[in-house]
Amino acid sequence: MASERRNDLDAAIDDIAAGRSSLLNLRGIGNSLEPLTQRRHELTGLRDVLLDRTDDPVNLPGWLTELPNIERIDAISTAIADAPAASHIRWTIRAEELDLFEYLTDLNNVDGIGIGPHTYAVTIDDIAVRCELGELELAKLRCGVNSLDVSKDQEALTREWKALDTLDNRIDSILRHQPSLEAADFFGCPLGRVPEPLSSLPRLTRLTLGAVWPETLPGWIFGLTELRNALIYYNGLRDLPDPVGPGRRLRHLVLDGNPLSSIPSWVWNLPELEHLSLRDCPVEELPQDLANAPNLTTLNIGSVFGSQQAPLALRVPPPEIAIQGLDAIRQYWRQQRSVGVDHLAEAKLLIVGEAGAGKTSFARKILDPDYVLDAYEDSTEGIDVMRWQFPGAVRVREDRAEYVKTCNLRINVWDFGGQEIYHSTHQFFLTKRSVYVLVTDERKEDTDFAYWLEIVDLLSDGSPVVIVQNRKQGRGQGLDLGALRQRYRNLVDTVSVDLADNSGLGDAVARIRRELEQLPHLGTPLPATWREVRLALEGDPHDHIAADEFFEICGRHGFTCRDDMEQLGGYLHDLGICLFFQDDSVLKRTVILKPEWGTDAVYRVLDDDAVTAAQGVFTEADLARIWHEDRFAPMRHELLALMERFGLCYRVPGSETWIAPQLLSPTRPVYAWPDDGNVVLRYEYDVMPKGIARRLIVALHDLLVPGDYVWRSGGVFTYRGTRAEVVEDHRRRHLHMRLHGVDPRVLLGIIDHALGVIHRSYPRLRYDTFLPCRCDVCVRAREPAMFTVAELEDFARTGDQIQCRTSRRLVDPRTVLDVLSPDDRRQLAVTTAPEPPAPRPEVFVSYKWKGAADALVDELQGRLGERGVPLVRDRSAMRYRDSIRGFMRRLGAGKYVVVVVDDAYLRSANCMFELTRIADDPAFADRVFPVILSDAAIFDPISRLDYIEHWEEQVNKLDAKLARVGPENLQGIHDERNLYETIRNTIARIVDVLADMNALMPETHRDSDFAELYRSLEVALTR
Ligand SMILES: Nc1nc2c(ncn2[C@@H]2O[C@H](COP(=O)(O)OP(=O)(O)OP(=O)(O)O)[C@@H](O)[C@H]2O)c(=O)[nH]1
Ligand SMILES: [Mg+2]
């Protein structure tokens, strides 16, 4: 770490010495300036210094101010011990340093001040008075925080400020006396208003208003004459005002995290606008006006939590296009302008379920209710695709108005073979923006609802699912739709049919039609030429055409530029209408018009008896036999490329043989593997798609150990003297890896990278990576305790030791993480850090902070600490659920928890989240030591109902909100709702247990100096 910092510092000095930079930015590097002393003669070009954030007072060396060109030192987040007197340097300092600075040198040198949440009222008053007296002349004023947890609301943020009222009273006067101000920064300063005197600052070029939450935004902001940068994020703004005033010179406009559904046209007409950021804004349209901003070079959409995430609510242009960037969006509009608009009315219906459930029969009944069931219907091999058309209606938006347009909807019905062998390949065709039907055979109980619903959830990015229960003349078993729906957000309905007499069929088809019509991409305006090309392709009888032919068809239908044709090709591919892999050297020459032609060919190989008997091994001769018809024969090369592309086969290096790992032997071969000196790693999935190991085998087949070292669910890879064994355990949702050899980290890095690519192909995949504990007990154990990497990193960041659940020893998380760090060149030895004396298990405390419990917990921590029982509390300011996960994991692993319950605790979602997690443990009553504050009415059964009612109300409120806003894009609210519901469902039980536990009131605890609590803990800790 220290050497890294040193390198960064050296690099920064190199830049200055070479004249590439005049700024020394020490953020993240630290303020240790000793290394600079040796190289100070190289710093003649240095003009600005930006100091790192720290509360440890920094001493600046005298020579720094003697450098010939130094002009500014920014210490806005830094405590200073010494500030060399030098009248030519302008300082930016934090408010707290003002007096000291005046004492050390001269306030005339200060041109920037930072007021933060911890600044006292007297300091703010003092600044205001100095401004009024003309003692301070500022170019830069910051009232805010360094970083912001955007999930916090105004109230939560307000509580963090010591003197927000004073700031609110004084800020107008401060601003009125600073006519030279160039930058005003209110970031995380929840004033609830935009100070009006900002409107009279003629030189203001940069204005930051982040999480200020003004009720409305005044129009003069965008009329300020000199304003270049406006960062107006996380303010709850639903619309933007028109500019009032002459200014139109904005270059950077950041509006992230505001619930803006549209951007007014004046924004697009700003002549100098270069950068516009709309991340996490539910903007529905990026309009044609965007072409009016000639200088716009960056447009951020999607999410701050992942740049590749699709924009929240975008309909026009289609997100598939918008995510490709500004050029693609401009191209889309340019085409529309020149050729007019048409609307897409085509979608996919995917029918999945177990073998024999009745999928094919149902698909045929959709197309023709008079279809007579065939008792000898063949089991579907691979996938069949049928076309279904019906007159329907789509929602169309034009000129910001929405209307319903009737049209002929064209649906491609994909009927998937239900046999197990097909499951892992189907995932390539489970597309987004489709409707799914899960057919279940009601007479059997073999439907693995979880598997199907999870896999659809994983791959389809929220596409709706309808369950069709096929009664087959039996009785319906009845499904607990409510329970399933709670788990699977995209399950929309269940319908029951009997295909023999068509009962329920009409309703089922109507339900499915309704879902299809509501798919968000239907009705999307597209350049009219696109639809014409699509119709031409649809009318083409061929299974595939050459890419050049596709481009010719485009040309015949009004396309003039190749880029536009490729854009359309990509869009059709993304929607699953055609297969056109434009980035593949072989496949880019072909457009597969009928994807089922490709899937047919692929499944023929996987279903072939000879290939199956050879356990997946095949040659070109086999392919010539399997693909002998005219349909396939000329395209063998491409079809093989398609199989490789899907990760279904690989060529054995140096041979003319291919292997389809899906057909390999299911049993692991016997081979020797040393017991000692292994590096072990495990991936654990929430939902594990089938065949991850097989895709890894295909991706890294070059590294497979030759011979019998690969099987259906695993393989052994080798690289530079290290071997890695990777095994998939689908039942337990694990991928397990052990490595042995000279330096396992390189091979581990290669595998981790390949897995990353596979993981990213599942948009919603969630998994944890685990590493084994390295304490001396675990090193010898067959089943060592495992830590998640996220948890280890969390502990390593704070410098804490982590407790092993097996030996209860404290372990240094960095020694466990070592295996993942290829930078660390130390040989990987299986030794552990020197063992510290066996510690006591940690005791955690859960309480509602910033409330009545604070003082009690302070006291408790002191008292128990004196007696050698350290109390672990999470005082970090980020307690929102995502941020407290690390703490929770630790809390879950720690044995004992003191829960300080007051009324606010029982009404706080964060606290109750914590408590429900603690209560998940079957040994809840043994682990928890409650301290009940007097306002928590848990001893009276009637008052207890109040809490249940409270959570009931919260659920209802959210439901009402959800019903109003519509379910799309409200993932966060859904999660919140699920949490509230869990709390409502469990609060009665939890409170019962707490009330039964003979908890003492705090006064009694205090009177006895917490002796009772200490005694109970002591007994538990020595158990
Ligand atoms: N009597 C009766 N038979 C049905 C009904 N639904 C389907 N079947 C029969 O059940 C058998 C299997 O139905 P399919 O529609 O082929 O099942 P599938 O889900 O497509 O099966 P795979 O293609 O193997 O995945 C066929 O013989 C159908 O005729 C029904 O409601 N009543
Ligand atoms: Mg079938």
For residue 343, which of 432, 403, 431, 430 has the smallest C-alpha distance?
403
Cβ atoms of residues 605 and 611 within 8 Å: yes
Query: What is 329-368 written as a DSSP string?
Result: HHHHHHHHHHH-EEE--EEEEEEE-STTSSHHHHHHHHH-
Substitution candidate for ligand 1 out of 351, 377, 416 with most atoms within 8 A of CB: 377
Helix crossing, 885-893 with 789-798: angle to 10°?
100
Give every CB contact of residue 8 below 8 A, 6+ residues apart in sequence: 28, 29
**CB of 356 sitting under 6 A from ligand 1:** yes
Q: How far is the CA of 354 from the centre of ligand 1 (A)?
A: 11
pLDDT (0 to 100) of residue 163: 94
Substitution candidate for ligand 1 out of 354, 360, 497 with most atoms within 8 A of CB: 360
Task: For 579-592, write each residue's pLDDT tens digit.
Answer: 898 888 899 999 99
Comparing 234-238, 562-566, 975-979, the range with the smallest average pLDDT is: 975-979
Tokens describing residue 760: 């990213």
CA pair distance 147, 615, nearest whole angstrom = 57
Cβ atoms of residues 51 and 24 within 8 Å: no
pLDDT (0 to 100) of residue 825: 27
Residue type (1 letter), 704 = L
CA pair distance 315, 321, nearest whole angstrom = 10
Name the strands in the sheet holding 383-398, side by side, starting at the edge strand that comes first in the sequence.
383-398, 401-416, 346-352, 435-441, 465-470, 491-497
Torsion of CA 823, 826, 827, 831, to 10 degrees: -120
Residue type (1 letter), 270 = L
Residue type (1 letter), 293 = A
For residue 167, which of 186, 148, 147 has the smallest C-alpha distance?
186
Report the run of H or E that residue 492 belongs to, with start and end: strand 491-497
Beta bridge partners of 737: 681, 726
Helices (runs of H) and strands (runs of E) counted in the chain = 36, 40
Task: For 69-115, write each residue's pLDDT tens digit.
Answer: 999 999 998 888 877 777 788 999 999 988 888 887 888 889 999 99
Give the chain's end-to-end CA distance (angstroms, integer): 40
3-state SS track over 146-174: CCCCCCCCHHHHHHCCCCHHHHHHHHHHH
DSSP designation for 283: -
**How does strand 78-82 pair with strand 54-59?**
parallel
Cβ atoms of residues 718 and 751 within 8 Å: no
**Dihedral sign of CA atoms 104, 106, 111, 117 in order:** positive
**CB of 472 sitting under 6 A from ligand 1:** yes
**CB of 358 sitting under 6 A from ligand 1:** yes
**CB of 379 sitting under 6 A from ligand 1:** yes
Q: Which atom of ligand 1 is nearest to the CA of 354?
A: 25
pLDDT, averaged across the chain: 83
Beta strands in 804-891 (DSSP E): 810-811, 843-847, 871-872
Residue 441 CA neighbour count, 13 Å, CB half = 14
**CB of 373 sitting under 6 A from ligand 1:** yes
Q: Which band of pLDDT confidence, cut at 50, 70 and 90, is reported for residue 141?
A: very high
Task: For 10-61, write each residue's pLDDT tens digit.
Answer: 888 888 988 888 888 888 778 887 778 888 888 999 999 998 888 888 888 8
- Protein residue with its CA nearest to atom 8 in ligand 1: 358
CA pair distance 467, 351, nearest whole angstrom = 10
**CB of 359 sitting under 6 A from ligand 1:** yes
Report the run of H or E that residue 544 belongs to, with start and end: strand 544-546
Burial of 455 (0-12, 13-18, 19+ CB in 10 A): buried
Tokens describing residue 228: 């270049």
Burial of 103 (0-12, 13-18, 19+ CB in 10 A): exposed
DSSP designation for 877: S
Torsion of CA 256, 260, 265, 267, to 10 degrees: -20
Ligand with the closest atom to the CA of 473: 1
Name the strands in the sheet holding 710-711, side by side, starting at the edge strand that comes first in the sequence.
710-711, 714-719, 722-729, 734-741, 679-685, 767-772, 786-788
Q: Which band of pLDDT confidence, cut at 50, 70 and 90, is reported for residue 455?
A: confident
**CB of 374 sitting under 6 A from ligand 1:** yes
Residue type (1 letter), 596 = E
Higher-confidence position of 470 and 324 = 470
Cβ atoms of residues 649 and 658 within 8 Å: yes
Q: Which atom of ligand 1 is nearest to the CA of 373?
A: 29
**CB of 200 sitting under 6 A from ligand 1:** no
Q: Which band of pLDDT confidence, cut at 50, 70 and 90, is reported for residue 880?
A: very low
Q: Which atom of ligand 1 is nearest to the CA of 376?
A: 27
Task: For 825-846, write each residue's pLDDT tens digit.
Answer: 222 222 222 223 334 556 778 8
Task: For 493-534, write each residue's pLDDT tens digit.
Answer: 999 999 999 999 999 999 999 999 888 888 888 888 888 898
pLDDT (0 to 100) of residue 891: 57
CA pair distance 874, 887, nearest whole angstrom = 7
- State the Rg of the chain over Cα: 33
Report the run of H or E that residue 751 belongs to, with start and end: helix 744-760
**CB of 500 sitting under 6 A from ligand 1:** yes
Tokens describing residue 238: 């639903």
- Protein residue with its CA nearest to atom 3 in ligand 1: 472
For residue 521, which of 353, 344, 690, 291 has the smallest C-alpha distance?
344
**CB of 616 sitting under 6 A from ligand 1:** no
Comparing 44-58, 422-436, 532-546, 555-569, the range with the smallest average pLDDT is: 422-436
Q: Which band of pLDDT confidence, cut at 50, 70 and 90, is reported for residue 1009?
A: low
pLDDT (0 to 100) of residue 182: 95
**What is Dmax (Cα atoms) for the chain?**
97
Q: Quickly tell me which residue has 């996220």 as its tokens.
A: 790
CA pair distance 677, 226, nearest whole angstrom = 65
Ligand with the closest atom to the CA of 359: 1
CA pair distance 522, 526, nearest whole angstrom = 11
CA pair distance 809, 42, nearest whole angstrom = 50
pLDDT (0 to 100) of residue 6: 60
Tokens describing residue 687: 């939902």
Burial of 645 (0-12, 13-18, 19+ CB in 10 A): middle
Tokens describing residue 483: 């329970």
Considering the chain, what percentage of its residues have pLDDT values greater than 70? 88
Phi first, then psi, for residue 648 (nearest 5°) are: -100, -15
CA pair distance 532, 344, nearest whole angstrom = 10
Verify cis geometry, omega within 30 degrees of 0, for the bond prior to 243. no
**CB of 473 sitting under 6 A from ligand 1:** yes
How would you label 710-727 residue by residue, b for 16+ Cβ within 10 Å and e otherwise?
A: bbbbbbbbebeebbbbbb
For residue 208, which of 179, 234, 180, 187 has the smallest C-alpha distance?
187
Ranked by mean pLDDT, which of 379-383, 461-465, 542-546 comes out on top?
542-546
For residue 453, which of 469, 442, 437, 441 has the smallest C-alpha distance?
437
CA pair distance 487, 181, nearest whole angstrom = 54
Give every CB contact of residue 582 below 8 A, 6+ residues apart in sequence: 566, 569, 570, 573, 588
Q: How far is the CA of 442 from the centre of ligand 2 (A)?
A: 16
pLDDT (0 to 100) of residue 556: 93
Phi first, then psi, for residue 580 (nearest 5°) are: -145, 95
Residue type (1 letter), 384 = D
